[in-house]
Amino acid sequence: MPTKRWVSWLIVLLGLITAGQGLGWLMVAQGFPTTGYIVRTIGEIATYFWLVVGIFALVQTRWLVWTIIHQVVAIAGVAIALTFFYLQASGAGLVIIGAAIFLRGVVVYRAYTTLPDWRKAAI
């Protein structure tokens, strides 16, 4: 891993947060609340994906595979939980969301432990 690769990743992350939220709130202040909401939502989605990709791209050569696995676990967990919420079984939905969060943590843990020097990469 190049020594300063994480610095450029962090600068882009902070830029996404600042630009997305700043432009969105500027639109709201200008009298365009719907456009501001759309801009903020797009900024939040882009920030989220940059964050998730960065978790894996900075340490793994097969970062795209790990990112897709992470996202599939998250989306499947939320989809299953939403069906339980629609069936008025919110307790079961909360358990499913908790299990999905745990499994996402396991995916991140496994991505880092497959590295030869995983403790250094995790720090």
Rounded Cα distance between 73 and 29, Å, is 38
Rounded Cα distance between 93 and 53, Å, is 27
Coil, strand or helix at 74: helix
- Mean pLDDT score of the chain, rounded to an integer? 85
**Tens digits of residue pLDDT in 2-35:** 457 778 888 888 999 999 999 999 999 999 999 9
**Tens digits of residue pLDDT in 69-102:** 888 998 898 899 888 888 888 888 888 889 998 9
What are 49's two structure tokens? 């994906």
Rounded Cα distance between 29 and 13, Å, is 24
Rounded Cα distance between 110 and 46, Å, is 25
The C-alpha R_g of the chain, in whole angstroms, comes to 18
Rounded Cα distance between 111 and 55, Å, is 9
Rounded Cα distance between 82 and 88, Å, is 10
Rounded Cα distance between 123 and 32, Å, is 43
